[in-house]
Amino acid sequence: MNSKQEVGNGKRGNRLAGALPRLSDYMKRAADRDPNRPAFIYHDVEISYAEFSAKSQQLAKYLLKAGVQKGDRLAYIMNGRPEFFYLYMAASMVGAIIVGMGTRFTAREMEYVLNNCEAKYVLTLYGLGEIKNYQERLGQACQNSPSVQNIWVVGGPAELPNALAFDEIMKDDYAEFDKDLLAREATIGPDDGLLIVYTSGTTGNPKGALMTQRNVVSEALIVCDEFGPPTGLTPDDRFLHHVPVNHVSGATEMGASPIVAGCTQVVIDQFHPVETLEQMQKHKVTIFCGVPTMFILEFNLPNFDSYDLSSVRFGMVGGSMAPKEMLEKMLTITPYCSNPLGLTETCGLVTYTDVGASADNLNKTVGKCAPEFQMKLVDAERKEVPNGTPGEIAYRGPSVIKEYFKMPEATAAAIDKDGWLYSGDVGIIDENGDLRLVGRSKEMYITGGENVYPAEVEEFISRFPGVAMVALLPVHHDVMGEVGRAYIVPKPGVTLDGKAIEEYLKDYLAPYKIPRQYVFRDSLPMTALGKIEKKVIRQEIEKEL
């Protein structure tokens, strides 16, 4: 039996039937159906769908006045505050493509993105938390980015040449552009570009994954059905949004899906365990999502059980395999949890665990391919492998990206002529038809001629009592070529011993998979999304050589 899973109809019929052509159409639909429902709760202030729609259309008309053409790129350095969503919907209406940059980006990283996508305009925060002013870095980047014409500043004064304060832009209603906006919208279809999300750039420069309106809408419709069983997302849901919007999760499944559902997003500037729990309790959040690190930090709070989370009806953990102990805790909050798998190049999630899955199942698998997709596992020659055999995971379906922007060779290497996307993830289909993620083919290292996938080893180390976080990376070895080094963060008050972990692993892993070295630390470098930033650790290792 081969490893391919075939496309089919959704769990409640064909979930993509009748899809609207533009993401912004769903915002307008929600505003028409329920204008007073909050689209966002931000800093405890409610913004209704009527206001959301009005401000987005106001900004869209300003974009027309500014000369924005179909296909123009509009970069942003934002968190998930309402102004980001105004830009998102305005771009959807006028056919522009928004391009995310991280709030932690250096001037060099900004410059690369601005030049690669040839951005004409940039929407930036004035500051966020301890970072008081982004304009200095952005100014440096723009000096070498000739395509940038204007900068729009949210939350503070405009201090750069060719910069405008966002509040000033939004003082005019631009009513003279009403007919122009209707005419422009009529030319925008589902196959037009909407969003570029840059990959992390673990190998070489980041690549800009170009997503169409169809890609984003398809992903959102599937998420609306998969999240919040047994009904799927409803307008009555309150969806926690606390992840960066320059990542695919923040822009699609956690950004676009609530708009498609017409429900409320409770927006937090930056993840902090205490603030997150306070907002969940205060605003009766029903849907909460995050990476394992976020949940671990929350669950480790000494007063965690004092928070009232009885409103929660669904939890999703993604980004990396979650420890079983953490999943068991999640299932005490809600019986419906999911540990899906997604990637930037599929516009987000593509596999989902079964409704009511146990902590053991959630810990070991990422579920089955969404029925709108096909999935297969292949060997190095891209030939299908049988179930139970590790292979690279390939997908084909409605939210696979259009291309890597301005990178035809990289696009051709990842997406074949038949539309199959080769993910670089390595997995196994188990006896129940569930996908188990073994690791990244690009992270695989070879020790004494044997292949080791770090994710598999990390999964077992994370089960060892007292382990809070773990990252496995290869280091040079004169005899074996490479051996594993485990970087481990113990739980508070716990002292761990490498020898004890090594003995424990002997019961679960072949000897060549067991790390030779153990490094214990108080913390590990993290990305803005809360994932362990292995690139930084890898740079430390390189300096040792």
CATH number at residue 505: 3.30.300.30
Which residues in 282-303 are b (16+ Cβ under 10 Å) and which e? ebebbbbbbbbbbbbbbbeeee
**Residue whose token pair is 């009232």:** 308
| pLDDT 10s digits, 476-520 | 887 777 899 999 999 999 999 999 999 999 888 878 889 999 999
In-domain check, residue 161? yes
Q: Please list the residues that pair with 376 across neighbouring strands.
A: 394
Predicted local distance difference test score (pLDDT) of residue 486: 98
Could you give the angle at which helices 49-65 and 178-185 cross, rounded to 10 degrees? 90
Domain termination site, one of 160, 188, 216 = 188
Cα separation of the two ends of the chain: 46
**Residue whose token pair is 């064909």:** 14
Residues 251-257: what's their mean pLDDT?
96
Predicted local distance difference test score (pLDDT) of residue 105: 78
In-domain check, residue 4? no
Between residues 83 and 205, which one has the greater pLDDT?
83
In-domain check, residue 138? yes
Highest mean pLDDT among 31-35, 407-411, 428-432, 459-463: 31-35
Task: Retrieve residue 151's tokens.
Answer: 């900068």
Which parts of 199-322 are beta strand (E)? 208-212, 238-241, 264-267, 287-290, 314-317
Residues 314-340: what's their mean pLDDT?
89
Task: Retrieve residue 276's tokens.
Answer: 């997150």
Closest CA to 125 of 93, 79, 87: 79
Label residue 350 exposed, middle or buried (CB < 10 Å: 0-12, 13-18, 19+). Answer: buried
Please give the mean pLDDT across all residues of the chain. Answer: 91
In-domain check, residue 227? no
Query: What totals of helices (H) and strands (E) does the chain contain, helices first?
Result: 18, 27
Residue 7 has pLDDT above 80, yes or no: no
In-domain check, residue 492? yes
Closest CA to 148 of 178, 104, 113: 113
In-domain check, residue 174? yes
Domain termination site, one of 140, 166, 188 = 188
Residues 313-339: what's their mean pLDDT?
89
Phi, psi of 57 (to 5 degrees): -70, -35
Q: What share of the chain in percent tops pLDDT 70?
A: 94
Number of domains in the chain: 2
Predicted local distance difference test score (pLDDT) of residue 130: 60
Residues 405-428: what's their mean pLDDT?
94
Sign of the torsion angle spanned by Cα atoms 62, 63, 69, 70: negative
Residue 418 has pLDDT above 80, yes or no: yes
> Picking from 108-112, 113-117, 158-162, 445-449, which range would have the lowest pLDDT averaged per residue?
445-449
Residues of the domain holding 524: 443-544
DSSP three-state, residue 251? helix
| pLDDT 10s digits, 171-183 | 999 999 999 999 9
In-domain check, residue 453? yes
In-domain check, residue 226? no
Predicted local distance difference test score (pLDDT) of residue 449: 65
The span from the CA of 318 to the CA of 291, in Å, is 5
Between residues 489 and 140, which one has the greater pLDDT?
489
The span from the CA of 391 to the CA of 265, in Å, is 38
CATH code where residue 115 lies: 3.40.50.980
Spatial contact of 189 and 215, defined as CB atoms under 8 Å apart: no
Predicted local distance difference test score (pLDDT) of residue 327: 94
Provide the whole-model pTM. 0.84
Residues 54-69: what's their mean pLDDT?
98
Sign of the torsion angle spanned by Cα atoms 212, 214, 217, 221: negative
Task: Retrieve residue 476's tokens.
Answer: 């040079």
**Measuring CA to CA, how many Å separate 353 from each of 331, 369, 371?**
14, 9, 12
Task: Retrieve residue 505's tokens.
Answer: 């692993």
Domain termination site, one of 125, 156, 188 = 188
Could you give the angle at which helices 82-94 and 178-185 cross, rounded to 10 degrees? 70
CA atoms within 13 A on the CB side of 531: 15
Q: What share of the chain in percent tops pLDDT 90?
A: 70
Predicted local distance difference test score (pLDDT) of residue 3: 58
